[in-house]
Structure 1
Amino acid sequence: MSAADMTGAAALPFDLILFDLDGTLVETAPEIADAVNDTLAELGLPAATLDEVTRWIGHGTRELLVQALASRRGSSADAVRADPDFAAAEAIFQRHYEARCGTRSHPYPGVIDVLQALQAAGVRRVVVTNKEDRYTQRVLQAHQMQALFDRVISGDTLPVKKPNPLAVADSLLRYGVQRQRALLVGDSSIDVATARNAGIAVWCVPYGYNMGQPIEACAPDRVIADFSALFPQALTQMAPAA
Structure 2
Amino acid sequence: MADFSAIRALAFDLDGTLVDSAPGLAAAMDRALAEMNLPQPGIERVSTWIGNGADVLVQRALRWAEVDETPAQCRLLRERFDCCYADTVADGSRLFPQVRQTLAQLAESGMPMALVTNKPTPFVAPLLRSLGLPTTSR
Q: Same fold (TM over 0.5)?
A: yes
Query: Matched residues, percent identical?
Result: 29
Asked if 1:50 corresponds to 2:50, the answer is no
Separation in structure 2 between the aligned mates of residue 86 and residue 20 of structure 1, nearest angstrom: 26
Structure 1 runs, 4 residues or longer, greater than 3 Å off: none
CA contact (8 A) 1:15 1:122 kept: no
Quote the offset at 1:83 in angstroms.
3.3
Whole-Å separation in 1 of the counterparts to 2:5 and 2:127: 29
Structure 2 residue runs of 5 or longer lacking an equivalent are: none
User: 2:119 is matched with which residue?
Assistant: 131
Alignment of 1:168-207 (within 5 A): none
One-letter identity of the residue aligned with 2:126? R
Give the conservation status (yes or no) of the 8 Å contact 1:102–1:138. yes
Tell me, in whole angstroms, the C-alpha distance in 2 between the residues paired with 1:100 and 1:49: 14
Among 47, 65, 76, the residue aligned to 1:72: 65
Structure 1 residue 22: Cα displacement: 0.8
Structure 1 letter corresponding to 2:30: N
2:72 to 84, 87, 90: 84
Match of 1:16 in 2: 9
Q: Secondary structure at the match of 2:114?
A: strand
Q: Distance in 2 between matches of 1:122 and 1:146?
A: 15
Count of aligned pairs:
136
CA-to-partner distance for each residue in 1:145-165, whole Å, 9 max, x for gaps?
125x638xxxxxxxxxxxxxx
| Alpha-carbon shift at residue 74 of structure 1 (Å) | 5.2
Aligned pairs (5 A) from 1:107-146: 107-146=95-134
What is the SS of the residue equivalent to 2:5? coil
Deviation, 1:134, is: 1.0
Does residue 1:150 correspond to 2:137, yes or no? yes
The runs of 5 or more residues in structure 1 that have no matched partner are: 1-10, 152-242
| RMSD after superposition | 2.0
How far does the alpha carbon of each residue in 1:198-224 deviate from its partner, in whole angstroms, 9 at most, with x for none?
Answer: xxxxxxxxxxxxxxxxxxxxxxxxxxx
In structure 2, what residue type is equivalent to 1:140? Answer: L
Question: Deviation of residue 52 (structure 1)?
Answer: 1.5
Separation (CA, whole Å) in 2 of partners of 1:29 and 1:96? 14
Q: How far apart in 2 are the matches of 1:42 and 1:122? A: 47
d(CA) in 1 for partners of 2:95, 2:6: 25
> SS state of the match for residue 39, structure 1?
helix
Q: Which deviates more from structure 2 when the two are superposed, residues 30-39 or residues 82-91?
A: 82-91
Does the residue aligned with 2:127 lie in a helix, a strand or coil?
A: helix
Q: Which has the higher contact order (CA 8 A, sep 6+)?
A: 2
Task: Look up the equivalent residue of 1:84 and give its one-letter code.
Answer: A
